[in-house]
Copies of this chain bind each other. A is one copy, B any other.
Amino acid sequence: MESSIGIVGSGVSGLHLGLFLLANDVPATMYAQSEPDEIRQGRLLNTVGHHHHTLERERALGVHHWEAAEYGYVCHHHCIAGDEEVRFRGDFTHPSSVIDYRLYLPRLMEDFQERGGELVLGKTLGVEEVNRLSSRHDLVVVAVGRGGIGELFPRREDKSPFDRPQRRLSAGIYSGITYSEPKGVNIHFSPGHGELLELPIYSHDGFATALLFEAIPGGDVEELAEVKYDEDPSAYDRLVLEKLGRHFPMAFERVDSTEFGLWSPRDILQGALTPIVRRDYARLDGGRYALAAGDCHVVVDPVMGQGANSASYSAWTIGEAILADHVYDGRFCERVARRREEFVISVSDWTNLMLNPPPHVLEFIGAMASDKALCDEFTTNFNHPDKQVDVLGTPERTRTFLEMRQSAAAGTRG
């Protein structure tokens, strides 16, 4: 079936969709803001992990250029700091990886072009432009979070509990810190102050460590999101070291302070975002439809590292639905919405839950600390956000899950 799909945005969602369509002989046009080389030379975009299900899609698309066995990592090391520090590890069934998006996105944009995709460069598109575009495409997929374009898709109040950022963020790539063993993403908790995600990233100059500080507003780590790196780089590096020492001992102990510092001035990103879920689709002026994808559809805090995975999952769902149908109307959009709802909304619900963990979630984390199999399951379920919500969604769900687990263990012993 021949069709023409317009994709606004060249992030992971737009690229995975575009490449999926080309692989299935559906013409696709991508509207992007920056050329591949601009992105390569630019500032750090994020520090996002790709989990196994996303890597499997990359393999299927022939764009898994950084083999996870070599570039990836295999576990999560956890540390809850405090008077009674707790450390525990969870292993993945299959490795995940963190590739700097300044490598990843340009390479996939070039794949897209080499495979016959049309890449149109220009300024960020707004609502009006999307309405105009729809006369040239059977369907427009809006897969870009920035700009006013999101207004096409009203906020879903039932799934958007916050009206402000829950964390203030500072992400940077640092030298002078060795990897933990086995190679993993390290999740550090400093109760009351926030989390540090320490990620083994592959970036422009090879392997390094990304530190993503998730600062609770008003806490002692918040400074890292407020102080501007550029104003005094070495003071900022010292501030990071100080916060590591005070709040994140499992990272600090692997730092060589004489070597420690940001890789380069363009390797830092500071900010904050408000989680939001928008409606799946909109009817455009001409009667055709636009689907939201990626950050245009769901914005999650990066604390659980789910954004790219959710965006890629969504892209794949849209691609499969496009192949299976021949008219991209309200029925089509409803089908996409229904098929991605469980996964994508679980990403959002789960992440929002972890930002302000209620007692039953803290209890579950406590259970993981003394039960490696449970922690392995939780870790592998970074691939299954729906299962995370099945287990953590309500106090009853967590209690019943842990009770069933205990009685199954008793049965095995008995």
Q: Closest B-chain residue to A394, C-beta based?
A: B329
Q: B338–A404 contact, CB under 8 A? A: no
Q: B393–A326 contact, CB under 8 A? A: no
Given A335-B342, A342-B338, is A325 in contact with B390 using a C-beta cutoff of 8 Å?
Answer: yes
Query: Min CB distance, A68 to chain B, in Å?
Result: 27
How many copies of this chain? 2
Q: B338–A390 contact, CB under 8 A? A: no
Q: A400–B326 contact, CB under 8 A? A: yes
Q: A327–B1 contact, CB under 8 A? A: no
Q: A397–B338 contact, CB under 8 A? A: no
Question: How many Å lie between the Cα of A397 and that of B326 in the bound state?
Answer: 7
Contacts of A325 in B (CB 8 A): 390
Given A338-B338, A338-B342, is A404 in contact with B331 using a C-beta cutoff of 8 Å?
Answer: no
| A341 sits at the interface (CB 8 A) | yes
Partner of A331, one of B327, B335, B389: B389
The 8 A CB mask of A322-357 against B (1 = contact, 0 = none) is 000111010100010010011000000000000000
Query: Min CB distance, A171 to chain B, in Å?
Result: 33
| Majority DSSP secondary structure for residues of A touching B | helix
Q: Closest B-chain residue to A3, C-beta based?
A: B404
Given A327-B397, A390-B326, A397-B327, is A404 in contact with B341 using a C-beta cutoff of 8 Å?
Answer: no
Contacts of A390 in B (CB 8 A): 325-327, 331
Chain A's interface size range is 10 to 19
Partner of A327, one of B327, B335, B341, B394: B394
Partner of A1, one of B341, B397, B404: B404
Contacts of A342 in B (CB 8 A): 335, 338
Question: How many Å lie between the Cα of A331 and that of B400 in the bound state?
Answer: 15
Chain A contact residues, CB within 8 Å of chain B: 1, 325-327, 329, 331, 335, 338, 341-342, 389-390, 393-394, 396-397, 400-401, 404
Known: A326-B397, A327-B397, A329-B394. 12 other contacts (CB 8 A): A1-B404, A325-B390, A326-B401, A327-B390, A327-B394, A327-B400, A329-B396, A331-B389, A331-B390, A331-B393, A335-B342, A338-B341
23 A-B pairs whose Cβ atoms sit less than 8 Å apart in the complex: A1-B404, A325-B390, A326-B390, A326-B397, A326-B400, A326-B404, A327-B390, A327-B394, A327-B396, A327-B397, A327-B400, A329-B394, A329-B396, A329-B397, A331-B389, A331-B390, A331-B393, A331-B394, A331-B397, A335-B342, A338-B338, A338-B341, A338-B342
